[in-house]
Structure 1
Amino acid sequence: MDQELSEGQARFAGYVATLGRGPGKSRALTREEARDAFSLVLSDAVHPAQLGAFLMLLRYRGEDPDEITGLVEAARASVAGAGEHAVGRVDLDWPSYGAGRTRGAPWFLLSALAVSQAGFRVLMHGTNAFSGAISVGDALAGLGQAVSTDAAGVGDALDRRGFAYWPVDCFAPGVDRLLDMRRLFGLRSPVNTVARLLDPGNAAASVDGVFHPAYIALHLGVAERLQRRSLLVIKGGGGEAERPATKATAAHVWRHDTGRSELLLPALASPSEPRGADTVAGLVRVWRGEDEQHAAVQTVIGTITLALLALEPGIEAAAADRRAGEIWSARRPI
């Protein structure tokens, strides 16, 4: 490389070196270093080779809570038109970035819509670009709903129906481009974790799903460092915040006033019960009450429970399950 490094590239080289010096010499970045490094990335101030090395070194070393917190802070600072001042009050943040092979239809979307009809303002955001299953956008289209492409549209959707879906490429295109680098690497990068924790509406509470249990403590640790008000995390199908109806689920919670806790939620359906068609038409039939496949309905109701546990401090799991059933029964046509 004959050309002289720019100021940003020279500064960023130090961060790559810190991560990659080798056994006994390398270390994780501090929160402040990670924030500065990712700010350089998102402002296109680094060389493409530096970026690839940076992302894969972060992955290889393992994701560190301080490091991820700094990355999230930089990503949030780069988001234009987000926050409560731009979209209005958000009660529940619902990231959807699942890409696992085990992910079926987005039954959790029906849960989020039912929660919004119960009077809560729900902002779902994400991308399902790396999933072979039905995307949230396609499922919404089948239900006659549109995605929101800017802050004004999000605010309007929240005001009119209490629910909005905001694709990440519309509010954080830089983050979306980094997510898309998975095609080059053949591997996810820590940006996947960052995206889940973006909380573009500064919500009062969040529900989140992870694919690997090891990420649960990481997500809670970042929420703690950022002093998020409430975050509930589960190991969900395909990495989504969706409670599997046929097995017990551990729900891990962070609250700024009480710290961390864990709840064991029971199975709601037998593994032998039919789940329901993993198609857009199947989702629509379940919402309309035209198909009462028990496992599918219990998945939706159980996921409503997750939202209530995140939203309402002090509510017990059994009471949340009962109320979730009432919310589902009271849903209205879209």
Structure 2
Amino acid sequence: MVQEHPFAQYIRIIGKGPRLSRPLSREEARAATTMILKKEVDPVQLGAFLCILRVRSEDPSEGAGFIDAVRANLNLPDQLPKVDIDWPTYAGKARQLPYYVLAVLAMAQSGIKIFMHGAAGHTEGRLYTEETLAHLGIAQARSLQEASEQLGTHNFTYLPLKEISPPLQEIIDLKATLGVRTPVNTFARMINAFDAPNIMQCITHAAYREIHRDCADLLGQKRMCVFKGEGGEIERRAAKPVTVQYLVEGEKSDEEWPAFLNSEHAAHDEKMDLPRLKKIWAGEDTHPYALSAITGTIAIALRLMGKADNPKAAQQQAQDLWANRNKDNLTNA
């Protein structure tokens, strides 16, 4: 008799059909993810596991167990750096330039410490954060230790997922084989390796808002927000109203942010012209959409951090923060 593979039990739990299957418990998800991270799973099993979760949609307790396992396997520095905001960037941009990058750099100049992490290249035709930072002359970190050091000197760092957890990057890259994204695209956004008190999250599909917030709640996250951003990245679409959903010290709330830009200014960028970003930073390009995307994104971050009492006040603070940036220097170096 052929002995059953230890991972088979987890596929059976989620894959027995609509009436007999159920989501994994947090502990089951942690155990399954640990086996995946240690590469103790057959490739056929991994593909089946990922696709079942993708079709059924992820469960918050599964997300919490996934994060538990990932965090337990991180190569963290001896002393965690001070971080204000954890900022995942995994979607890439296809219709508008990555204006959120300028928003983050302006916040870092103002003294807000931001840990940005992400993945690149998994979807054709998109412009990712790594390419953007390279064009701006900003070096990415190569380890969690180096990321910690960059936060101390520049208030900002970007670390690719492949340096945080190589197995997770390999799974994201399976999109070219499977044809669909995997649950890692959802859960990797929540790693928060440096235990930042604030997490910014963004979704493309509304159904994922509650998954992110409920998972953060299970993980004991102090403050987080999630909203529908431009192209799946954390970037305000100022020509449209947006619902921002919060989790603050265990309390959930929703807030409606009205549009503040005329839709006539929201046309897609005809080409993803990265040199424009330097011109925008220098004040040489003042296109209304670019400025509204930058300040609108900053405003949501400031509101999450409790620095403003309402969206209007947050927007005014964001505009002041942007106006006071050092136009001659993109970093604090």
Q: What TM-score results when the alignment is normalised by the length of structure 2?
A: 0.93
- Distance apart, 1:101 and its partner CA: 4.7
Q: How does 1:266-305 map to 2 (within 5 A)?
A: 266-273=258-265, 278-305=272-299
**CA separation in 2, counterparts of 1:40 and 1:130?**
23
Equivalent residue for 1:165, pick from 141, 152, 158: 158
Q: Secondary structure of 1:287's match?
A: helix
Aligned to 2:305: 311
Q: Structure 1 CA distance, aligned partners of 2:97 and 2:140?
A: 17
Displacement of 1:14 in angstroms is 0.8
CA separation in 2, counterparts of 1:182 and 1:144? 29
Q: CA deviation at 1:315?
A: 2.5
- Deviations, residues 286-334 of structure 1 (Å, cap 9, x unaligned): 1111100011111100000111112126632111111000100011122
Q: Does 1:118 align with 2:110?
A: yes
What is the identity, as a one-letter code, of the residue corresponding to 1:232?
C
- Partner in structure 1 of residue 253 of structure 2: 261
2:29 aligned residue (31, 34, 38): 34
Percent sequence identity is 33
Does residue 209 in structure 1 map to residue 184 in structure 2? Answer: no
Q: Given the alignment of the two structures, is residue 90 of structure 1 paired with residue 80 of structure 2, yes or no? A: no
Which residue of the partner structure matches residue 182 of structure 2?
189
Change (3 A) 1:100 1:326: closer
Gaps of 5+ in 2: none
SS at match of 1:11: coil
Summarize the Cα distance change of 1:274–1:16 in structure 2 as closer, same or farther, 3 Å threshold: closer
| 1:86 shift after superposition | 4.3
Whether the 8 Å CA contact 1:231–1:254 is kept in 2: the answer is yes
Distance in 2 (CA, whole Å) between partners of 1:62 and 1:134 is 26
Distance 2:107 2:212 in 1: 23
* Aligned partner of residue 46 in structure 1, secondary structure: coil
Residue 42 of structure 1 aligns with an amino acid whose one-letter code is: L
Which one of the candidate residues 147, 154, 158 is aligned to 2:140?
A: 147
Q: Which residue of 2 aligns with 1:73?
A: 68
1:301/1:324 contact within 8 Å kept = yes
Q: What is the distance in 2 between the residues matched to 1:79 and 1:236? A: 29
Q: CA 1:300 to 1:100, structure 2 compared with 1: closer, same or farther past 3 Å?
A: closer
Count residues with an aligned counterpart: 325
Displacement of 1:87? 4.6
- State the Cα distance separating 1:18 from its structure 2 match: 1.2
Change (3 A) 1:253 1:133: same
Give runs of aligned pairs for residues 54-73 of structure 1, distance below 5 A. 54-73=49-68
**Matches of 1:140 and 1:274, distance apart in 2:** 24
Q: How far apart are 1:239 and its partner, in Å?
A: 1.0
Letter of the structure 1 residue corresponding to residue 292 of structure 2: Q
Deviation by residue 1:85-123 (Cα, 9 ceiling, x = unmatched): 545111100000014754x32110111111111111101
Instruction: Give, in angstroms, the shift of residue 152 of structure 1.
Output: 2.6
SS of the residue corresponding to residue 88 of structure 1 reads coil
Query: How far 1:23 sits from its partner (Å)?
Result: 3.0
Confirm or deny: 8 A CA contact 2:302 2:308 kept in the other structure.
no
Asked if the contact 1:86–1:151 (Cα under 8 Å) also holds between the matched residues in 2, the reply is no
Partners of 2:283 and 2:127 lie apart in 1 by 20
Contact persistence 2:108–2:114 (CA under 8 A): yes
- Whole-angstrom CA distance in 2 between matches of 1:221 and 1:313: 24
Amino acid at match of 1:175: L
SS in 2 for 1:19: helix
Give the root-mean-square deviation of aligned CA atoms: 1.8
Determine the C-alpha separation between the residues in 2 that align with 1:301 and 1:281.
20
Paired residue for 1:228?
Answer: 221
Measured in 1, the distance between the counterparts of 2:26 and 2:182 equals 18
For residue 62 of structure 1, report the CA deviation from its aligned partner.
1.8
Taking a change above 3 Å as real, the CA distance of residues 38 and 175 of structure 1, as seen in their structure-2 partners, is same
